[in-house]
Amino acid sequence: MTSIELKRLLTQRISEINDISFLQAIKSILDSNADKEFMNLTAEQANDILHSKNEIEQGFYSEQEIIDLEVAKWAKEK
């Protein structure tokens, strides 16, 4: 079953439900899932993310393993 078919089936089944408490339970499930999938960002946060993506595309980043080695080396020198 594709996601489109499943959505249609669920829409049809939900439209047949008259139990308000059951519908509220479904709404709670959908609301909790929506909170996990979407984040509201400020304009500054969105701009920072775009800036970071551009830097990564241009090769301006370091691999975590290299940073870990540099930090370990720095810690030994102290």
Domain co-membership, 47 together with 71: yes
Domain co-membership, 49 together with 66: yes
Per-residue pLDDT of the chain (78 residues; tens, 9 = 90+): 899 999 999 999 999 999 999 999 999 888 887 656 567 889 999 999 999 999 999 999 899 999 999 999 999 987
Domain co-membership, 51 together with 73: yes
Which 8-state DSSP code applies to residue 68?
Answer: H
Domain with 27, as residue range(s), is 3-37
Task: Give the separation between CA 53 and CA 46, rounded to whole angstroms.
Answer: 11
pLDDT the model gives residue 2: 92
Task: Give the separation between CA 62 and CA 56, rounded to whole angstroms.
Answer: 9
H helix runs in 16-63, sequence order = 20-37, 43-57
pLDDT the model gives residue 36: 63
